[in-house]
Structures are given as structure tokens and as C-alpha cells.
Amino acid sequence: MKIIAVASQKGGTGKTTTAAAIACWAAEHGIRTLAVDLDPQGSLTHIFRGDGTAPGAYELMKGDAQASQIVQVGEDLPDLISASLQLAGADTEFSTKPGRDFFLRKALERDSGRWDLIVVDTPPTLGTLLVNALAAADKAIIPLQADTFAAQAIFQLMETIGQVQQYCNRDLKVAGVLLTRYSGRTVLSRDLREDLEEKCTAMDLRLLPPISEGIAVKEAQTMQQSLFTYAPKSKPALDYCAVIEEVLGG
């Protein structure tokens, strides 16, 4: 069983879109896949037509339920453990509990034989839920937009990842930084991409091939469908295919 955490410490980076794309691509290629929504906003839960009022990730981390008991199985989408607004208080609730960084890892280990791949969508904050996702993961992907603050966001997140690698999960690898909603037609985007590539090289990080901007992504999410089913020939879908094959194969 492999676990991939999609992590970003700011919103609007294409984090949930990337998590959904990885999970859908894997499921459509016959890989037994589970998506875990740790973001209290529940965007992944909505995209996958999940029930945010049912027991989900909050109950899983508390130890009140096992993954196999609360998984929501979709007919044409990956299995899902949903998010709820109760996750918003996780930092306060779990902060004083022993072993708080390993709640998710221990919970997923109980059903390790059921899925081949688990994709975890994380909240856009540096807190307990993100640390739990990283402590459980084999790989992390960092989605970003090509903007002025992208490099700063990487520095902050890499500090957290470094601490997790040191104290919680020595096997955690960063698969790469992924630029989303990228438009190579603008000089600014190209310049920011070059600058970001230099910053990534300095941090020994790989800048993955970018994901093109395209309306098909929002349309697929609105229709609550897989991007690869809704618009398989769209540029974002083709870009994601290439990146996901590389990440899962490596």
C-alpha cells in the first residue's frame, strides 16, 4: 500500500484538483484506491459526491471507527473517507493527546490490505492534520501556482516536511513541486516558472511538468465527474496523466 499526501500551506493552488486527479486516474487504471479528505472545507468530498454528514476522517483519526467501516464507495469514482467541519477543531482537540502525529497512520494500517493506493487531501494550513498526512505518507506532492509568493510557500512547507522526516517519518519523500493552472503564453508565468525551478534546484526538489490551465477542470468538478471521464483529451487531463504516471511509477 502506497500513501500520497497532496500538501500546500495556502489555498487556491490546485491541491484538491490534484488529489482528485491522482485518485481518479489510479482507480480508472485498476488500482484499488482510497481518497481521504482531511480538509474541513470538504471540497474533495463534494467532488466525489460524498456525504459530509456521515462518519469520516474525523472519526477515523479519533479512533472511533475503522476505515473499512466508514468508507463511501462510489460506482464510478474512487473509494472515499469524507471530511466534515469537525476537522476544523482537530488542532485544538488533538494537540494535547499522546501520539497525535500518528493517528492517521495507525488508523490506515488497520486496513492496509484493502487498498493499493491512498491519496490524502490536506488542509491549506500548517497544523496537526497536515503533519498526520505527512507522517503517514510515502510521498508528498506540493502543488503551487506560478505567482510571486510561490517560493515563499515552498520554504515554509519544506520546514514542516523536514521536521516530519526527522521526527515522524524518515521514509517520506517529496515527489516534486507541481505548477497548476499554468499558462505558458504569458511572459510573467514563464519567468516565474524559471525562478521557481532555480529555487527548487537549490532545495534539491524536482519541479514536475506543469498542469495547463483549462476550463475542463472546473466543469468536471461542477459535474462531480472524473476529469479523465469528462474531458480525457483536454490539456489539463493529458498533463495530469503524464505527471501521475511518473509519480506513481517512481
154-206 pLDDT, tens digit each: 888 999 999 999 999 999 999 999 999 988 777 877 888 888 888 899 999 99
Mean pLDDT, rounded, for 138-156: 85
Q: Give backbone dihedrals phi and psi of 63, rounded to 5 degrees, phi first.
A: 85, 15
Residues 6 or more apart whose Cβ sits within 8 Å of residue 187? none
3-state secondary structure of 57: helix
Nearest CA among 61, 54, 108 for reference residue 82: 54
Specify the pLDDT at position 250. 67
For 66-121, what is each residue's pLDDT tens digit? 999 999 998 889 999 999 999 999 888 998 899 999 999 999 999 989 999 999 99
**Is residue 204 left, alpha or beta, with left meaning phi > 0 and alpha meaning psi from -120 to 50?**
left
Scan for cell 487531463, then name that residue. Answer: 237
